[in-house]
Amino acid sequence: MKDLLKLLDLSREEIVRILDVADQMKYDQKHRLPHPRLQGKTLAMIFEKNSTRTRVSFETGMFQLGGHALFLSGRESQIGRGEPVEDTARVLSRYCDGIMIRTYSQEEVEKLARYADIPVINGLTDFAHPCQVLADLMTIRERKARLEGLKMCFIGDGNNMVNSLIVGCLKVGMEVSVACPEGYDPHPDVLAFAREAGHGFSLVRDPLEAAAGVDVVFTDVWASMGQEEEAAQRRAAFRGYQVNEALMAVTDPGCMVQHCLPAHRGGGDHRRGL
């Protein structure tokens, strides 16, 4: 049994293996080749945070692989009414073959995995977003034909996305630069990992410095789910941390832009420049 809780837990070889399998399955699906690898399997999906892309992708993936997905919202399940995580883990382990959870606390996901007898997948926490970043790495490799040696920058909040991007990109041999305003840096555990990696990482305050010559630009919203009350404060702090024509002018001519979505569209300081 192998959980997917955060990219810090995976080796470079495991990440590449996941990407290779995903590429093969995408090819099979495109050419209508059957791949019922999860025939008869059931995935319990716990959503304590709202979702569009995560829910649709997991449900569709389970269907295409021959399995079945069960949607469990926090409001409608016992975990949302205060049932201990360990009890939820034990019950779901008796009925299902895997658990995907999208929630706030990384500690909750780790605890769920400790008590479950089936694989647990982190669909998002405030600390990490491993599935999103694996999909991003897959996309980059499709477009650029490689990962090792590419340069990536992230502009904005040191949130779950950048935490996972730093780890994932460094592990596959990419160079990483991050531009965050002071007070919004990535998680200390991630920065410690980046320092131990030895080279290929920089944390700066100037977005143009971070973006110079990069092959891929990542960004995210200034205020994520659960941070709505900080929106005004964040608009002031992140003024200038935007992907726009000036920033793209200093990147590599073939640079691609990635955004995990949802994005706030409509211009002004409310969006992150897509």
pLDDT at 272 over 70: no
On whether 103 is known to bind a ligand per the annotation, the reply is no
The answer to whether the annotation marks 205 as part of a ligand binding site is: no
169 is in an annotated binding site: no
Q: What is the pLDDT of residues 75-111, one digit of tens each?
A: 767 776 678 899 999 999 999 999 999 999 999 999 9
Phi, psi of 231 (to 5 degrees): -55, -45
Query: Where is pLDDT greater, at 40 or 32?
Result: 40
- Please state, in angstroms and rounded to a whole number, the distance separating the CA atoms of residues 91 and 185: 38
Annotated binding residue at 51?
yes
Q: For the segment 250-263, what is each residue's pLDDT rounded down to a tens digit?
A: 999 999 999 988 77
Q: Please state, in angstroms and rounded to a whole number, the distance separating the CA atoms of residues 24 and 6.
A: 23
132 is in an annotated binding site: yes
Whole-number pLDDT of residue 269 = 42
Paired tokens of 158:
């040191």
262 assigned to a ligand binding site = no
Statement: residue 56 has pLDDT above 80:
yes
Any binding-site annotation on 102? yes
Predicted confidence (pLDDT) at residue 129 exceeds the cutoff of 80: yes
CA distance linking residue 150 with residue 12, whole number of Å: 15
7, 90, 125, 133, 261 from 105: Cα distances, Å? 16, 19, 6, 18, 20
Does the annotation flag 261 for ligand binding?
A: yes
129 appears as a binding residue in the annotation: yes
Pick the CATH number of 132-259 from 1.10.580.10, 3.40.50.1370, 3.40.50.2300, 3.40.50.300: 3.40.50.1370
The answer to whether domain 7-124 and domain 132-259 are alike in fold is: yes
Q: Are strands 201-204 and 175-179 parallel, antiparallel or unpaired?
A: parallel
The Cα 165–Cα 124 span in angstroms is: 13
Domain limits of the chain? Answer: 7-124, 132-259
Annotated ligand binding at 220? The verdict is yes
Average pLDDT, the chain: 90
CATH code assigned to 7-124: 3.40.50.1370
Is the bond into 262 cis (omega within 30 degrees of 0)?
yes
**Is 78 one of the annotated binding-site residues?**
yes
